Structure 1
């Protein structure tokens, strides 16, 4: 059992989705209490309702609390910092302004607790973008709320799967736009984000590998138009000059195999599919989304609210369990 276990705030997300049930299912795994002190931030009545449609053998007691003092965090007991925002008869599986507003408030509360060092990391269950906006909060999703409420201008997406972490230079843009957006300073900055994130988690000299843009990382000009030399290598050299343990650009077709094998702690991908595809191949149910560059640690499931199966008790908790593990791994060490 770990000493000085981090306190992880689990935000309920959109309570009309699968959030409450995957939280209960996850906290029925004793391992999470062995590595962390979990506290749910949401509505306790939504957890109580979820107990009625998850497996009946889960011997879980939900306890509503109004602060984080003097909690024992014993397996079998789920503490919920109860904001009491939703009606007991909230319709499951439908977009709701009430649930969207509540999801925002759960996250805003968790952010304040993290900023005040009352929790060590945030792990988020999914929210619904349409409900969020109907609830009066015009954000695309969790990441933008986190950035806004922590006054963070520069951040990046990191994906994590068993034995592989990937951080992206560009994400949700077309391939031509992605290549145009890659430049040495951005490459350097993402390398530094990766380095600083893993260093804060206790890895004093993380091994970082950087993907090329072209097949075979350009192979000395045989492929492409010198993008590696112009856009990537100067950023890598700058990071190396500051003492970071980074290599590249390397061919992506073999780099991810080497990273999974253990040669590297994290891979810097140049564009969305270059980084996402290997993570998805390793398992959709164990992928975790991590926002780096924030002053606080935040991990998330890599799936949505799944309104179509909400309330049926069949939602899979594996991604949330992995997100909790990653929150513990990345939380500042005491």
Structure 2
């Protein structure tokens, strides 16, 4: 997919506003304001225009917002409807106050923004998607029955196989199972799932990160790989045979390795990514390694999608103190990956 703007060979990146009650719009604009993004992309921001414009006023009350922020404000794709106009209170704090009593509307806006962003990419209007955080409870109240962005984007893209990768510093991790209770994990992990995830990771490391011949490590499920069956036999019955299956399919996959060492080995450059077996096994590793600088990447989609590795942070919204570093890393990866895709 090739895109240009103002006769410049700039990737068009669509940014969904997420839940506007939170810090999403704040970190979105703060990231765009960084000098590193000047003349490097054309931003399309999808969300409720009234809230986004009020957010910019809150950050730059004198109207002296940076060039890339002005460009974003000039290219808002508004998803608010006529019935939402009562929230136009003249300030972002007023909008937050109104939405505090209407989580459903906040969730509806967030869901609409994602839907329209995917539609824009499908029409060829953009090369990549960066999503600001949404509130899963509000999203569900609005009728979007997904555990999060990853599952929603997979369905909007035709039910493709996806992997939720977290990348930060020298470490990339993927949980084989995501937002499920820990008690369910052993019943969900099987050879087919592990091989399928390895395939998605292999393709994603090539297409999103430009890595040739990616090396994938598989993490064991149990402590010390079960200690010969004393602490469980899943690694002997499932993960080890799955690694052999993946290798037989031509993938450079190694393991299974104990969780207490494999992430260190990957961070030192021995592997390009680690497939963990469950959510916290992966998340603790990446957040200890790159807290505040991690990026969520959905592998397997027909387009590049990144997101900051944090939530809505409703408790600090409106105070102007949100750190945009993770959003900036997400935007940087989206721009680089879009350029890589366009060259391909």
TM-score (norm 1): 0.85
SS in 1 for 2:291: coil
Whole-Å separation in 1 of the counterparts to 2:135 and 2:296: 16
What does 1:111-130 correspond to in 2, within 5 Å? 111-130=118-137
Verify: 1:303 aligned to 2:310, yes or no: yes
Select the residue among 72, 91, 98 that pairs with 2:95.
91
What does 1:266-281 correspond to in 2, within 5 Å? 266-281=273-288
User: RMSD across aligned C-alpha pairs, in angstroms?
Assistant: 2.6
Task: For residue 25 of structure 1, report the CA deviation from its aligned partner.
Answer: 0.8
CA gap 1:185/1:119 in 2 versus in 1, 3 angstroms:
same
User: Which one has a larger percent helix, Structure 1 or Structure 2?
Assistant: 2
Verify: 1:52 aligned to 2:47, yes or no: no
CA gap 1:209/1:136 in 2 versus in 1, 3 angstroms:
closer
Task: For residue 105 of structure 1, report the CA deviation from its aligned partner.
Answer: 1.8
SS in 2 for 1:41: strand
Select the residue among 244, 249, 259 that pairs with 2:266.
259
Structure 2 runs not aligned, ≥5 long: 1-7
Verify: 1:80 aligned to 2:75, yes or no: yes
Verify: 1:207 aligned to 2:212, yes or no: no
Select the residue among 6, 9, 18 that pairs with 2:14.
9
Conserved in 2, the CA contact under 8 Å of 1:13 and 1:124?
yes
Conserved in 2, the CA contact under 8 Å of 1:9 and 1:39?
yes
Verify: 1:292 aligned to 2:299, yes or no: yes
Whole-Å separation in 2 of the counterparts to 1:138 and 1:176: 22
SS in 2 for 1:52: helix
Task: For residue 207 of structure 1, report the CA deviation from its aligned partner.
Answer: 1.2
Find the counterpart in structure 2 of residue 171 from structure 1: 178
Task: For residue 27 of structure 1, report the CA deviation from its aligned partner.
Answer: 0.8
Aligned length in residues: 320
| 1:243-276 deviations in Å (ceiling 9; x for gaps) | 2121111222111111111211110101222111
Task: For residue 148 of structure 1, report the CA deviation from its aligned partner.
Answer: 2.4
| 1:192-244 deviations in Å (ceiling 9; x for gaps) | 1100111122223111111122333346x265343222101222112212221
Whole-Å separation in 2 of the counterparts to 1:5 and 1:260: 32
Whole-Å separation in 1 of the counterparts to 2:108 and 2:187: 37
Task: For residue 125 of structure 1, report the CA deviation from its aligned partner.
Answer: 0.7
Task: For residue 45 of structure 1, report the CA deviation from its aligned partner.
Answer: 3.3
CA gap 1:222/1:329 in 2 versus in 1, 3 angstroms:
farther
What does 1:8-157 correspond to in 2, within 5 Å? 8-33=13-38, 35-54=40-59, 59-60=64-65, 77-78=71-72, 79-83=74-78, 85=80, 86-87=84-85, 88-89=88-89, 91-92=95-96, 94=100, 95-152=102-159, 154-157=161-164
CA gap 1:274/1:97 in 2 versus in 1, 3 angstroms:
closer
| 1:114-157 deviations in Å (ceiling 9; x for gaps) | 22232111111112234334444444432333222222153332
CA gap 1:260/1:56 in 2 versus in 1, 3 angstroms:
farther
Task: For residue 278 of structure 1, report the CA deviation from its aligned partner.
Answer: 0.8
| 1:139-195 deviations in Å (ceiling 9; x for gaps) | 443233322222215333211222111111123334442123211111111111100
Most deviating of 8-17 and 32-41: 32-41
